[in-house]
Structure 1
């Protein structure tokens, strides 16, 4: 997420906290926690980097710090939304005559328990923010020198960017694919695998590798190739090359512009998430790209083996699940604080969970869901109830739906 959007979330959190602190009916203890939390978030806002600072994630340790900060603020936003909804519900119950009768008869103990729980959660997230703010890596923020950056340029740089140190267990796959792309007999290489395995991430690792950078004169990244409209594909290639798109141009003009960019140059073109099974469309695109230098390559990511069969010049590279070792390392990164040694029983439960979800996207998603849960009871409940709804090999959408169910209403 761009920094501008993140700043807006921070400001929303500050506003929600202030509004809640002004509500009547809350205990002084909860109000004190809200005020402490508001002051902490306000202090955090003053050290959040400028809008172009996403680029500074290349600075060692900076990206990890910023990711931890964002995760904590989003958790806080969801928590405050839940609290706000409960306070609003109480107000509506009080104002409605019929509902008021129910409200009066309803035990006050439930409201008190909810307030205490929220006060405890707010205190916990505040302590988490304090720990992040005091992290020894925070000074990297102050070393980053601000530069003016256009939004289009930022999108063009980051959509194909991935921090290699954030990727776990794909180094051998990366080396194998680079070796294939540098083979003189290869023109097109498809990477095939089910959704969530990390095909796009792997393609980004290859795309940004130093050896690939040095070998190819121009690197082009095109995503969202679902409809495979040739004109749209050419427009996206030009946007990747030049950072701009001119939708009003005729096809012949677009092709002329493309030829000016690739004529006599050795390129690597990544077509990410291709679903086209029409050979004629594929052949038409290859015809448009013929003006480039010998040794140009096309790297395709696809879930469907039939897609690969019409694009390939060699056997596809089939991406497999992570090994149990790397699956755990990935889960550990997303489920726990950096350097945290989890409770033995929680770790044992986590290892059982990981055995059920070898797909990287599922591992990251479920690890993120469990990040805010710290008790053995919560982890056991998740494993014995929600995890049972997920079976290995099912569509990744089931995992994402689980993540969706945990979002607050406004985020849904």
Structure 2
């Protein structure tokens, strides 16, 4: 069941309520008393939220109390946004001609009516909060959280992608031997790397794929993430896009087949199909036929958790990837858990660490995340408490609950940032700067240092999560241009813990909808307002609208404009509005009514 994380939001509401700007405007508008009452009420609640969040999974009363509180806290957050926006507009009245135009664009028609309405809203939210506060039938302790963003990390531990992989040399050589085997008769031979999640199947495939000897042996190398999207057409599109960097979504299947044959004809290629789940042997046979028009010596490497997939797809014996042995597990763990990558001087901590490693089952992802979490625990008492009070409750080799222990030890603001990544599909290559902007727009990034801009603080958040192994980094570029991915088990964890109420809209599929849904992503090319499920228009709390499936906007014309007009006019609380690649020329004036809007993407349009 998804967890509810409200402490960071509530803390930010209190911070804004006590700010000098809000107090001054509140006095001017005659609502200072109401604001003070709201601050007192929400401060009382905020003081116990950290304790409630920690206990919610073991106490249904607390869980239900938080659930009742959730919508009211978000409504209070929306109210503070509205208040701050209106206050800023009042200050803009004294500004330049440009700011006056902005003011006119956004201004309220009747300021007195707005202030009266605002006073009633503040009072109503305060009363709702007070009822929930007083209805608490259990004890919660007041707790305060200190920021732990990279606080103890030395310079040698700043963000660096983990280039070295421990304990996979023999596995790498075994796969390379298959790739180079000249005795194999088939034009295309297939091997599957099969094993449980977190073992490093993808990492092993990357090691082989990027090896210099392998690169020299093939005319063409292609890498495709498959996941649950195993349709012949989609895979052919992905293969061709990787090989040619062309967008071929508008092509008929016959044309795609011709393009594929032309691309691989008389070439010796290496194709990695990463994370395959679909067990339909008919689909695989159809794809294999299309991939057979090539030079002898071509190879396909498949990574999968499914033994059935490995049996269907392999032309040779599947390669069963095992966990790391005892010594290699310890080597990886000590690199993650101890400063400078060497074991601690305290022999008792080392012994506790070895007991923890034994229970990790040789799974690299678990060793990394648990090791990074323990890096922040200084004392023998903390290590022993984790082993006996937390780790002992998790069944052996149960990976997701083990990973959740690392999540549980995150500060609340990083929990929000991590959970928000459920907005992105599995295997999606996330633009890091865009992700940080999303966090900022949703209010997850807090100003911790007056000399540092919010974006730099957001980058620190990302580096911290990356360093703790919640993300995987695939590019060596500067962070400002970087792309990242999330391991599919980590993505599963975002769904388990993330109480951010998001939905993914798929073409021709029923949308599982809740009226309190706050975040929506379209995971396909949206080119008509008719593709927007009508049920979405019942949601009055949507904060995020992302278009992650947009491809070429060529030929959309007025249809893309209709999508823009509908999205702009229908969701008044939206903070993140993605209108990229719709083929639009103008933005409707009604966008001026979006008082909460913080991030607007108009890139790749015609204007």
Report if TM-score (shorter chain) is over 0.5: yes
Report how far residue 361 of structure 1 moved: 1.4
Structure 1 residues 247, 404: closer, same or farther in 2, change over 3 A?
farther
Q: 2:400 aligns with which of 397, 402, 405?
A: 397
**Rg larger in 1 or in 2?**
2
Query: Using the alignment, how far apart are the partners of 1:199 and 1:181 within structure 2?
Result: 16
Q: Does 1:356 align with 2:359?
A: yes
Pairs within 5 Å for 1:48-197: 86=46, 114=143, 118=145, 121-122=146-147, 128=152, 131-132=154-155, 135=156, 165-186=163-184, 187-197=189-199
1:99-153: CA deviations, max 9, x gaps? 99999xx99xx76xx56xx5xx55x767536x32xx5999xx9xxxxxxxxxxxx
Query: Using the alignment, how far apart are the partners of 1:259 and 1:405 within structure 2?
Result: 50
Q: Does 1:373 align with 2:371?
A: no
Q: Specify the alignment match of 1:297 in structure 2.
A: 299
Unaligned runs of 5+ in 2: 1-7, 20-42, 51-72, 77-125, 420-497, 499-607
Q: Specify the alignment match of 1:318 in structure 2.
A: 320
Structure 1 residues 399, 136: closer, same or farther in 2, change over 3 A?
closer
Query: Using the alignment, how far apart are the partners of 2:293 and 2:271 within structure 1?
Result: 14
Report how far residue 182 of structure 1 moved: 0.9
Unaligned runs of 5+ in 1: 1-12, 25-82, 142-161
- The RMSD of aligned alpha carbons is 3.8
Query: Using the alignment, how far apart are the partners of 1:224 and 1:351 within structure 2?
Result: 36
Query: Using the alignment, how far apart are the partners of 1:404 and 1:328 within structure 2?
Result: 22
Report how far residue 323 of structure 1 moved: 0.8
User: Would the aligned equivalents of 1:169 and 1:326 in 2 still touch at CA under 8 Å?
Assistant: yes
Structure 1 residues 245, 404: closer, same or farther in 2, change over 3 A?
farther
User: Would the aligned equivalents of 1:275 and 1:302 in 2 still touch at CA under 8 Å?
Assistant: yes
Report how far residue 195 of structure 1 moved: 1.4
Secondary structure at the counterpart of residue 169 of structure 1: coil
Report how far residue 264 of structure 1 moved: 1.2
Secondary structure at the counterpart of residue 285 of structure 1: helix
With 333-342 and 377-386 compared, the bigger mean Cα shift is at 333-342
Query: Using the alignment, how far apart are the partners of 2:135 and 2:314 within structure 1?
Result: 67
Report how far residue 171 of structure 1 moved: 0.9
Report how far residue 23 of structure 1 moved: 6.4
Report how far residue 245 of structure 1 moved: 3.0
Q: Tell me the TM-score normalised to structure 1 length.
A: 0.63
Query: Using the alignment, how far apart are the partners of 1:236 and 1:250 within structure 2?
Result: 14
Query: Using the alignment, how far apart are the partners of 1:205 and 1:364 within structure 2?
Result: 18
Query: Using the alignment, how far apart are the partners of 2:244 and 2:354 within structure 1?
Result: 46
Structure 1 residues 199, 99: closer, same or farther in 2, change over 3 A?
closer
Secondary structure at the counterpart of residue 338 of structure 1: helix
Q: Tell me the TM-score normalised to structure 2 length.
A: 0.44
User: Would the aligned equivalents of 1:236 and 1:245 in 2 still touch at CA under 8 Å?
Assistant: no
User: Would the aligned equivalents of 1:216 and 1:267 in 2 still touch at CA under 8 Å?
Assistant: yes
Higher relative contact order (CA 8 A, sep 6+): 1
Secondary structure at the counterpart of residue 302 of structure 2: strand
1:56-93: CA deviations, max 9, x gaps? xxxxxxxxxxxxxxxxxxxxxxxxxxx9x94696999x
User: Would the aligned equivalents of 2:334 and 2:341 in 1 still touch at CA under 8 Å?
Assistant: no
Higher helix share: 1
Secondary structure at the counterpart of residue 222 of structure 2: strand
Q: Specify the alignment match of 1:278 in structure 2.
A: 280
